[in-house]
Structure 1
Amino acid sequence: MNSSLASITSDDDAKVVVQRPLPSNARRYTLLLIFCITQFLYTLTNSALFSAIPSLVRNFGFTQSQSVWIISAYQLTFASFLLMSGKISDIYSPKYTFITGKFILGVISIGIGFASNGILFLALRALSGIAASLTIPSALALLVGLFPEPRHQGAAIAAFGACGAVGIVLGLISGALLVEYVSWHWIFWFVSAVILPTTLISTVLIPSQTKNMARESGFTKLKRLDITGISILTVAVILFIFAVTTASMIGWRSATALVPLAFSIAMTGSFFCWEALQPIECAAVPPSTWFISNFSVLFGTALLPYFWWANIFTTYVSLWQDIYGWSALSSAVHMLPIGITAFVFSFSSRVKGIGAMNAKWLILCGALMMMTALVLFAFANGPDKYWSLVFPGFIIGSAGAMLTNISANIAIFRATPPSMAGTVGAIFNCGLQLGSAVGLAAVGSIQTSVQKGNGGPSNYEGQSAGFWFMLACISVAAMAVLVFYQTHTTRDHVEGTVGSDEKDADSEKGDDGSLS
């Protein structure tokens, strides 16, 4: 292969550009498989715990409010530390950031399996979220470096995202099987048994440097990390997710929810003020980033896929098991169409006709499909409506969510410089997690309030109201894409000096930002 990566070394203040060949295809695709397995295991673990919640509640004596943190403890720290992890990956080394996060997560997973009390369990879940946050931005940065050609890069990013979606559904099934036939402990021991060996393989296979990186002093790197700015935003995100999660349990009028929410908003404003005062090279997220063509609208789009998936999962798992009396395994099997469809549509960018379309129209098409599914769900008021309304809704909506996810994910990397890959990946994934956290809180609150005045959870009016609310939110987001997404933009920023083949490959992208 003639494509090459440019690496920059320095002697004192002099920078020398060195052309380094890409690793072999076998090595690159083995690493892609490892990255995809890592993403798959993270989402599988979280999803599997939905089936394990009853066992964990009995085992640790959790109250109903405490049981929410079985999922939220991980989600809280994962989303909050993504930006810091992305900056560490960009400034230091994506290879060692990825390996460190995986190894720590593997060790913590063993410990969670042996946890003997609820407090220790939740604490380890929170720590595992921090460890996992180190791996996602760094994996995306490595993918961008290992697959510089736009066509192959799009396929790699699509596969990475697809494994996350498939892991959600297969996690429900694997969790149900493990809980029913073994124990919840094996959910974490299984993850550790896969993560630790692949960490060792990653250490050997990942090139030591896959992007332009000048040697800098430790002080310079630390200054560029912008610890103050990142800390402000990290605390703001923690308070925000805590507030919306708490509000979904005890109501939005509670001071326990409103005070953290107010502080979160104030700290977010402080973060942007702080960033505006920093030199561009020292800012965690330079304000100019949000003015990169389509960046802001693509971040808004990132809120949609997990907003759709998370609410569909929680609504139907609760409805089927608590109201209809279905078993955890039966509920998981009925969710399979979502995972199968997501996996199939993960390859949509490789289809000639679809891949040639501009990302704007693919995102809008995906949003329309999610909206169509929500209309079907709103009228599926009984178990007899599964095949006529829910099943086609699962297929149409999951296809739309995956199409939106992949199109936005590829487009946001095309719109930004490769040197920001880790930070951009962190921002995008933070959007995914915020969409899930805020969406679950908002939809849960609407469902609960409607059910109180309409006969309780057994009345479908609450679920229906939640679906109509989701439809309204996605409609607003789709209108924003329609109005603000610019279709005739290119990324003309090239890091360092690249080989002619890479330049030629970059020119394949076209002026319309298509996913070819």
Structure 2
Amino acid sequence: MYRNLRGRPGRVLAAVTVAQFVFALDMSVVNVALPAIRTDLGFAPLDLSWVVHVYALTFGGLLLLGGRACDLYGRRPLLLLGLAVFGLCSLAGGLAQAPWQLVAARAGQGVGAAAAAPAALAMLTATFAEGPRRVRALGVWSAANAAGGALGVLAGGLLTEYASWRWVMLVNLPVVAAALALLPADGPAEATGAAGERPVRSERRERPDVLGAVLATAGVGLLVYGVVRTDVRGWGSPATLGTLAAAVALLAAFAVAETRACAPLLRLGLLRSRWVAGANVLVFLAAAGQFTAFYFVSLYLQQVLGLGAAATGLAFLPFSAGLVAGSVLATRVVAHRTPRAALVPGAVLAAAGLAWFALIGPDGGFLTDVLGPSLVTSVGTGLVLAPVAAAGTTGVAAREAGTASGLLNSSRQLGGCVGLAALATVSAHRTGGATDPAALNDGYATGLAVTAGLFVLAALVAIGVLPRRRPEAPGRPDPLTPAADRPDPAANRLEGTRS
């Protein structure tokens, strides 16, 4: 990636880990504060959900564009720009005096995260060559990502109850400042790819794929919008079906456009790698399970067991600890074996924990109904989320690291949005509109049982799609990438002499 950064990779790892932590934190920190936000700013009940949805909409919709932009214009500049936009919008959100101001600030946070998140992951994968060092670095990154999502519930509860809801936005500022301070000041230098190849230098910068960017952003954005609004319109409404149909049409047009583009936003041949394709399906399923588990367990603690915001946040501490422990364990496993060796048992363990969670009762308690399944589920989830980033970037050339990272992050975002919206509908259908604790408990238990099935599917994908053998060592072409899509070293040398 950057020649000077390779001499001090620990600082790069620290910077991108802190950045990913704050992006994951922001996905969940606001949820617990929603009642206080509604009271203070005067949100209409149907508009309050946009505080959460608009972040997912802009973040998920722009990730592919952000990933390609960091390949074209540099990872460090995009990371700096994204962090700056995210921090400024966090400040604006903390100072908001009207509903529209907070919604606009959350949209801006999503834009900043969409630029910075793929740049951070691409910077990490390019700094650490494929092998044990990259696996360990991605394990740390994944642990921070998982812990940020879990600790967001804790931070949101404590800040809302003992300070103000505004601090769920302002708390991002010192974290962003830390990431900016840790990021080395070196300028870009020549990059080295995953297979040891160096990118072709050219005096002419590639033209951005404007048509692909428009189609991908509009398609993914409409998909996220259609899904997140099912809480109001329902899955079978004409508005939902029309929105989803338009999203599918735009994404199909994007696929066609990419086959004809000179510099595509997403080279479709990348998806023919079993590592890349399998990892994206896995992270979609795992994110759907993780987001949904957070949602149902949080509601169970508050609306069935009657815990307050701070107590609910504290109840997620074992979940956070388990996620970190699972990520550390996965790193040690994958250092000596393939990512598949951690993904399969992790998905099975997470499914078992969620099936245990599905036994919750209206007269239960934290020690009897939450602690045990929290630990089992979180360790299993950590075993899945840590190596999936390594799998999704295996064999990817440096020139496409941002694209692969954006794709992986986009799959994570879409999985969380689609899974949560779909299973919230399943849960609501089960309760039949009743609001007593017994009916709510029944709905949450049903949702958690279906969530367990998502991790069973993830295990099957890991078994059926991901290869058994280890990734090839750096310097050798990835045999899982079709020959037609591999870089031609001879062509690179010829082009280099022409430059």
Normalised to the residue count of structure 1, the TM-score between the two structures is 0.85
Q: 1:257-268 maps to which residues of 2 (within 5 A)? A: 257-268=240-251
Following the alignment from structure 1 to structure 2, what is the Cα–Cα distance between the partners of residues 432 and 146? Answer: 23
Residues 76-132 of structure 1, C-alpha deviation per residue, up to 9 Å, x if partnerless?
111111111110111221111111111121122111111111012101111110111
In the alignment, structure 1 residue 137 sits paired with structure 2 residue 118: yes
In the alignment, structure 1 residue 226 sits paired with structure 2 residue 209: yes
More moved, 451-460 vs 90-99: 451-460
Q: 1:134 to 1:41 in 2, by over 3 A?
A: same
Which one of 37, 60, 65 corresponds to residue 41 of structure 2? 60
SS in 2 for 1:346: helix
Following the alignment from structure 1 to structure 2, what is the Cα–Cα distance between the partners of residues 297 and 201? Answer: 33
In the alignment, structure 1 residue 240 sits paired with structure 2 residue 220: no
1:31–1:206 CA contact under 8 A, matched in 2 = no
Structure 2 unmatched ranges of 5 or more: 193-197, 479-486, 490-499
In the alignment, structure 1 residue 298 sits paired with structure 2 residue 298: no
| Amino-acid identity (%) | 23
More moved, 167-176 vs 267-276: 167-176
Alignment match, 2:481: none
Matched to 2:256, the amino acid is C
Following the alignment from structure 2 to structure 1, what is the Cα–Cα distance between the partners of residues 438 and 47? Answer: 24
Normalised to the residue count of structure 2, the TM-score between the two structures is 0.88
SS in 2 for 1:332: helix
Alignment match, 1:392: 372
Residues 144-196 of structure 1, C-alpha deviation per residue, up to 9 Å, x if partnerless?
22222521111111111111111122222222222222212223223123323
Alignment match, 2:128: 147
In the alignment, structure 1 residue 284 sits paired with structure 2 residue 284: no
Which one of 451, 460, 475 corresponds to residue 479 of structure 1? 460
Residues 285-312 of structure 1, C-alpha deviation per residue, up to 9 Å, x if partnerless?
1221111133222210011232122111
Q: CA RMSD in A?
A: 2.4
In the alignment, structure 1 residue 71 sits paired with structure 2 residue 77: no
SS in 2 for 1:252: coil
Matched to 1:144, the amino acid is T
Following the alignment from structure 1 to structure 2, what is the Cα–Cα distance between the partners of residues 132 and 157? Answer: 19
Following the alignment from structure 2 to structure 1, what is the Cα–Cα distance between the partners of residues 130 and 462? Answer: 27
Matched to 1:226, the amino acid is D
In the alignment, structure 1 residue 411 sits paired with structure 2 residue 394: no
Matched to 1:114, the amino acid is L
In the alignment, structure 1 residue 255 sits paired with structure 2 residue 238: yes
Following the alignment from structure 1 to structure 2, what is the Cα–Cα distance between the partners of residues 239 and 380? Answer: 36
Matched to 2:291, the amino acid is A
SS in 2 for 1:414: coil
More moved, 428-437 vs 378-387: 378-387
Alignment match, 2:477: 493
Q: 1:455 to 1:86 in 2, by over 3 A?
A: closer
Matched to 1:244, the amino acid is V
Structure 1 unmatched ranges of 5 or more: 8-19, 498-516
Shift of residue 21 of structure 1?
6.1
Following the alignment from structure 1 to structure 2, what is the Cα–Cα distance between the partners of residues 62 and 209? Answer: 50
Q: 1:390 to 1:323 in 2, by over 3 A?
A: closer
Following the alignment from structure 1 to structure 2, what is the Cα–Cα distance between the partners of residues 70 and 397? Answer: 28
In the alignment, structure 1 residue 105 sits paired with structure 2 residue 86: yes
Following the alignment from structure 1 to structure 2, what is the Cα–Cα distance between the partners of residues 186 and 303? Answer: 30
Residues 1-38 of structure 1, C-alpha deviation per residue, up to 9 Å, x if partnerless?
xxxx7x8xxxxxxxxxxxx56543xx321221121111
Q: 1:226 to 1:354 in 2, by over 3 A?
A: closer
Following the alignment from structure 2 to structure 1, what is the Cα–Cα distance between the partners of residues 178 and 459? Answer: 43
In the alignment, structure 1 residue 374 sits paired with structure 2 residue 354: yes
SS in 2 for 1:65: coil
Which one of 253, 270, 284 corresponds to residue 253 of structure 2? 270
Q: 1:201 to 1:354 in 2, by over 3 A?
A: closer
